[in-house]
Amino acid sequence: MSARLILIAHASTAALRGAFFPADEPLDEHGKTGAAALAGCLPNADRSLTSPELRTRQTAAALGLNAVVEPTLRDCDYGSWSGKSFKDVCALEPEAVAAWLRAPEAAPHGGESVLSLLQRVGGWLAGEQRRRQSSIVVTHSAVIRAAIVQAIGAPPQSFWRIDIAPLSITRLSGDDSRWNLSCKAPAARDF
């Protein structure tokens, strides 16, 4: 059996809608409604995982999942930019933002670089390949982008070219040698 992952981006929050670097905020009403509508549309899996942040745990609960917290699935650490709007950070630190978007190893905010995030998620994916289970994973768009980049062997610079919408579903399946990527509509019930 190969490993099968259903990666679900957490539902919307006020910070997400306002283009803020996230802190540990709750879901907004739209997010709660959207996640509840998706409940019951997911296939059975051997296990369910979620990152430790409130917004992912609330999404998992609204989806009806009894998810175990996996610290490795935590969101990117945005350091001093956490809780600030992207617009404000760009106005105050335009060179820092440009460096961060251009160079995967840059972390001008004092948090985690994209390269560090890719390495963390890559290590987690390697463990999942060995585990060979089906898992539903509720996490963050940055973590899902990192998983896609790692799974298909794309260069780190491609991280910013992948858009992950709230409650979108990304599917990875793989064995010891490679991952396969597929994306399907949220109502799909098959792996």
pLDDT in tens, the chain (191 residues): 789 999 999 999 999 999 999 999 999 999 999 999 999 899 999 999 999 999 999 999 999 999 999 999 999 999 999 999 999 999 999 999 999 999 999 999 999 999 999 999 999 999 998 888 999 999 999 999 999 999 999 999 999 999 999 999 999 998 877 899 986 555 444 44
Alpha-carbon distance 130 to 124, whole Å?
10
DSSP state at residue 167:
T
Is 91 among the domain residues?
A: yes
Residue with tokens 């963050």: 140
- Domain extent for 130: 3-183
Give pLDDT, residue 174: 87
Instruction: Pick the closest to residue 1 from 183, 190, 128, 124 (CA basis).
Output: 128
CATH of the domain at 176: 3.40.50.1240
Give pLDDT, residue 185: 52
**Structural domain total, the chain:** 1
Give pLDDT, residue 191: 41
Is 68 among the domain residues?
A: yes
Is 191 among the domain residues?
A: no
Give pLDDT, residue 55: 98
Give pLDDT, residue 70: 98
